[in-house]
Structure 1
Amino acid sequence: MSSAQTSALKTATANRTAPEHVSVAVIGGGQAGLSISHFLKTRGIDHVVFEKETAMHAWRTQRWDNFCLVTPNWQCQLPGHPYDGPDPHGFMKRDEIVAYLDAFRAKVAPPILEGVAVLRVTPREDGAFVVATTVGTTIADQVVVTSGGYHQPIIPRLAERLPGHVAQLHSEQYRNPQALPDGAVLVVGSGQSGAQIAEDLHLAGREVHLAVGDAPRCARFYRGRDVVAWLHDMGYYDMPVEKHPLREGVRDNTNHYVTGRDGGRDIDLRRFALEGMRLYGLLDGADGAVLRFKDTLTAALDEADRVYNGINAAIDKWIAEQGIEAPPASVYTPVWQPDAPSPTLDLDAAGIGSIIWCIGFRPDFSWLDAPVFNGAGHPKHHRGVTGTPGVYFLGLPWLHTWGSGRFSGVARDAAHIADRIVERMQAATNLSAAE
């Protein structure tokens, strides 16, 4: 990057105006956006990061008070910023995560425009892109979308018909049990957020009803180690999506539920049931204050346990093949079985004062005017490189490997995208010289 380009970028970001031109526009100021900024800076490529809120906004505002990582701290490997704290095998809490990310931002010192929303990105005939923002328009030679895929909270339409005196919130709005109205709580969804929020409420002594989905689960520790450590040694986290048995279908999978809370442990919904939590199948509809559920609970719990035991069996196989000394193998056996299914739940009769919807998010890339999406609105790409030259995605789940959307794998993906950006720049320079 020339001194003139550097000066122009500094002036633009200081004045919160969109620069007239940059080689690369980065859309999103989370860990993915700052990771690609790191590699673009080391390669001397001028760029600007547009962030509609503040850097790492989601980590500051969309996590509950007792939130913690579900992967061990040693897996935090942002570029040039590995975890170096005192507890590599522990699980950082929300405020510790924010501090880790703040330190990463300080190291990167990205050219970032915060509080600036991108309204539209439109390709030009010459191969560049018009990036329209709330503070002006930038012409970018290439664009990297790092805004993630969790944009629009999913709340079912039936929520509109439920009694107004029952408080409703999405998982991103949940903070702690004390902030909820009095009464029992219905949690809908048992993925990572739903299972952990249900646990948070349960440990606080709240009466919890949980509508269980099809999320799998895994052990926290097995045969003397964190399961993540075993899977790391087995090469699971280096497996590209093309070699996964489900191929690209794995991107649609719900994450396994487990927790890093209090040093880490399993989440066993059956044990919660023994302790008083009420479990139901998938939510199927509502008639006033009466909710209906499908008869899916037994099958969902059995499938989650099958996955749990399957992961452990794969670890057993690895230990045997490598001749590793380890504590003996074990198989999980259910500690509780559902009785006859509970097809309905009367919110008023059960004293339920609040519902927390934990059923995920929808992507919203409507601002990107480029033919890079499938019929479901998800980006089509190979390792983040789309079919439209100069448009890239970074930070999505299973973009390349399991860690692509996490602190553990985004650096590898960002370096790959930066290399592709350099290649396109060099090709354009060579073409110009030939002409």
Structure 2
Amino acid sequence: MTPEKTNTLVVGGGQAGIAMSEHLAKNGIDHIVLERHRIAERWRSERWDSLVANGPAWHDRFPGMEFTRSVADDFPGKEEVADYFVDYAKMIGAPVRCGVEVTHVRRNEGRPGFRAETSAGVIEAENVVAATGPFQRPVIPQIVPEETGVVQMHSTGYRNPDQLPEGAVLVVGAGSSGSQIAEELLRSGRKTYLSVGPHDRPPRSYRGRDFTWWLGVLGKWDLSTPGPGTEHVTIAVSGANGGQTVDFRRLAAQGMVLVGRTEACKGGKLSFAADLAGNIAHGDSNYLSVLDEADAYIARNGLDLPKEPSAREIGPDPDCVTDPIQELDLAGAGITSIIWATGFTLDYGWLDVDVFEASGKPRHQRGVSPEQGVYFVGLPWLSRRGSSFIWGVWHDARYIADHIATREGYLAYRPMPQKALAGA
């Protein structure tokens, strides 16, 4: 069977793939978008039931379309976010093929382009864009042995409190996912333990403006990639319950037990690092630094925004912080479930090109890899801090599409015949 041909093959039909399709089309570049499940599938089937976007509807969207069910300051639910991308793909006429998995991509030998083997046949393309995003393979640290008898799952497997067996729950990881899941469990009446590692803790809003607005006017969305080891700083921010600042002291006052980083398990007993107080203090420092910069911006620009002195009120450390638990007997504490909100690792096993570091991280500059014709979009810090956010992906995709169009222009160049030049 003759392989199907296209100029650019986009692998992944989430926010990154849909954004790429829009900009490729605007550049007149023939392309196909392949999605192994449904458009924005991870929003539907790999997130908990009550998940909402971490940014308000006016901010976390593409420029060309607003949310239809949520108003500007609402935090859209996960189904609405997924529906948004489905509707956007229809609006722009994106050539998305769902239910098609890409199993292997390699460069052609002796001629340009790539050969992609898929569940629906072979496709040949001049360019390949990996738009599978950062949430590819869930990471569960091998700390608690299975024989302990505790139900363990990644946050991608959690749906709601009712799916868990009776008993207390330990949530490991206090970023956006972990803090929201832990609070939901606490509200459901569960005894909840939360393992808190290093994190940033921005205010949800300050002086009448959401923190996404503050990061915008303060220029923080455009920060370039930070130093090694700091690319994946955990951010504790939430749009749940109408949008509130994540406050671990408040959660502790409501009955949540905070512990440090989960380090080891032996004989059914978990041990925790002695870093809880330091992690909480670092989060407070980050929080206050945003308030300081916001106040300075307001004063410098003479803005009439209401003062909010209560925002700087930080209560005393709870007992679980001043006298932290260093070891916890799982059975003795009645813990029957552990939810690992511990992030993801990349998985580009299908992409057989020499552009990856030993860690599996792709080498690229703003999504352009050293292998001509191979591109990446949707990764954190691809070009700046905002890269993994919905609007940031859209702008990164535009840059990559423009790069492809420019390269195609060079490839299309044909010099004028020498005879014609002589005749001139």
What TM-score, normalized to structure 1? 0.90
Match of 2:104 in 1: 120
Tell me how far 1:340 sits from its aligned partner.
Answer: 2.3
Asked if the contact 1:158/1:285 (under 8 Å) is kept, the reply is yes
1:5 is matched with which residue? none
Give the Å deviation of 1:85. Answer: 4.9
Alignment partner, residue 247 of structure 2:
268
1:328 Cα deviation after fit: 2.6
Q: Does 1:141 align with 2:131?
A: no
> Identity percentage over the alignment?
38
Render the CA deviation track for 1:37-65: whole Å, top value 9, x for unaligned: 11222333211112122211101111211
What CA distance in whole angstroms lies between the structure 1 residues aligned with 2:223 and 2:258?
Answer: 36
Deviations 1:353-399 (A, max 9, x none): 11101101110112212222233221221111111111111111121
Give the CA deviation at 1:230: 2.2
Matched, 1:218 2:188: no
- After superposing on structure 2, the runs of 4+ consecutive aligned residues of structure 1 that deviate more than 6 Å are 432-435
Partner of 2:325: 342
Residue 339 to residue 22, structure 1, CA distance change in 2 (3 Å): same
1:415 equivalent to 2:395? Answer: no
Q: Give distance in 2, aligned partners of 1:89 and 1:366.
A: 40
Residues 1:201 and 2:185 are matched in the alignment: yes
Paired amino acid for 1:319 = I
* Structure 1 residue corresponding to 2:237, chosen from 236, 258, 261: 258
1:293 counterpart residue number = 272
For residues 275-295 of structure 1, what are the alpha-carbon distances to aligned partners after superposition, in whole Å with 9 as ceiling and x for unaligned?
A: 211111111111132111111
Report the RMSD for the aligned CA atoms in angstroms. 2.1
Residues 293-329 of structure 1 deviation map (CA, whole Å, 9 limit, x = unaligned) = 1111111111111111111111111111111122335
Q: How does 1:145-160 map to 2 (within 5 A)?
A: 145-160=130-145
8 Å Cα contact 2:18-2:85 kept in structure 1: no
How many angstroms does 1:259 deviate by? 1.5
- Residue in 1 aligned with 2:422? none
CA distance in 2 between counterparts of 1:433 and 1:138 reads 33
Pair 1:434–1:140, CA change in 2 (3 A): farther
1:310 match? 289
Equivalent residues in 2 for 1:98-117 (5 A)?
A: 98-117=82-101
How far apart, in 1, do the equivalents of 2:354 and 2:178 lie? 34
Which residue is equivalent to 1:9?
none
Distance 1:40 1:432, change over 3 A: farther
Query: 1:100 and 1:253 mapped to 2: Cα distance?
Result: 28
**Post-superposition shift, 1:108?**
2.7
1:71 and 2:55 matched:
yes
Shift of 1:110: 2.2
Q: Deviations over 1:105-154 (max 9, x none)?
A: 22133222222221121112433111122222211100111001221111
Assess, with a 3 A threshold, how the Cα gap between structure 1 residues 262 and 415 changes in structure 2: closer, same or farther: same
Count of residues paired in the alignment? 413
1:396-407 equivalent positions in 2, closer than 5 A: 396-407=379-390
Segments of structure 1 that go 5 or more residues without pairing to the other structure are 1-16
SS of the residue corresponding to residue 144 of structure 2 reads helix
- Alpha-carbon distance in 1 for matches of 2:412, 2:37: 35
User: Per the alignment, do residues 305 and 433 of structure 1 end up closer, same or farther by CA in structure 2, a change over 3 Å counting?
Assistant: farther
Consecutive unaligned residues in structure 2, runs of 5 or more: 419-424
How does the TM-score come out when normalised to structure 2? Answer: 0.92
Tell me, yes or no, if structure 1 residue 373 matches structure 2 residue 356. yes
Q: Does 1:429 align with 2:408?
A: no
Aligned to 1:12: none
Distance (whole Å) between structure 2 residues aligned to residue 114 and residue 420 of structure 1: 26
